């Protein structure tokens, strides 16, 4: 587990730094931590760490924020659904790569993650529980949440009581 090797605060700091860095570099958008709730029109990108750590990361964001980021990244005014999905997955892949590198430097544990999966709307991974959520917004009050999930301890079915 990531917890054994790194503190929650340490991990939050790594995630925050990586998200702000990668967002500004790849999309020219500056995000800051904020408690503002997300809007109704959302997209989610999800990655599972399948080696090193039993965790996953989810980025849930206002679609208009991701569209703006994709538009900046591709230097295009109009962004198709395919562009949006392609950008979101590539962006999240770069972000998670940066996180894995920083976690390795802090813990000497190599993390490996699967390919990012894109969803319209909010996606909650099954069998995982939220460890913490970092909430951001841009200067137009469009928001994003970076959610760290841990594998839910197997309690003989007790984990599936919510639906």
For 33-47, write each residue's pLDDT tens digit: 998 899 999 999 999
Q: Which of 106, 69, 107, 103 is nearest to 89 (CA)?
A: 69
What percent of the chain lies above the pLDDT cut of 90?
78
What percent of the chain lies above the pLDDT cut of 70?
91
Instruction: Report whether pLDDT(53) > 90.
Output: no
Instruction: Report whether pLDDT(61) > 50.
Output: yes
Q: What is this structure's pTM?
A: 0.89
Domains of the chain, CATH where assigned:
2-151 (3.40.1550.10)
More confident residue, 109 or 163: 109
Band of residue 162 on the pLDDT scale cut at 50, 70, 90:
very low
Report the alpha-carbon distance of residue 93 to residue 18 in Å, rounded. 12
3-class DSSP assignment, residue 124? coil
Report yes or no: 136 and 145 within 8 Å, Cβ to Cβ: yes
- For 99-123, what is each residue's pLDDT tens digit? 999 999 999 988 889 999 999 999 9
More confident residue, 93 or 6: 93
Report yes or no: 23 and 98 within 8 Å, Cβ to Cβ: no
- At 123, give phi and psi (nearest 5°): -120, 130
Q: What is the pLDDT of residue 152?
A: 81
Instruction: Report whether pLDDT(17) > 80.
Output: yes
């Amino acid at each position: 587990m990531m917890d054994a090797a790194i503190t929650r605060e340490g991990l939050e700091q790594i995630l925050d730094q990586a998200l702000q860095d990668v967002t500004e570099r790849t999309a020219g958008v500056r995000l800051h931590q904020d408690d503002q709730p997300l809007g109704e029109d959302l997209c989610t990108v999800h990655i599972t760490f399948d080696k090193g750590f039993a965790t996953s990361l989810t980025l849930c964001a206002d679609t208009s924020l991701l569209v703006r980021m994709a538009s900046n990244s591709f230097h295009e005014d109009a962004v198709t659904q395919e562009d949006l999905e392609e950008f979101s997955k590539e962006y999240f892949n770069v972000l998670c790569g940066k996180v894995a590198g920083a976690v390795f430097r802090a813990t000497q544990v190599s993390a490996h993650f699967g390919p990012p999966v894109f969803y319209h709307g909010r996606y909650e991974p099954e069998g995982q529980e939220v460890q913490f959520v970092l909430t951001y917004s841009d200067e137009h009050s469009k928001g994003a949440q970076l959610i760290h999930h841990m594998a839910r301890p197997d309690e003989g079915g007790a984990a599936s009581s919510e639906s």
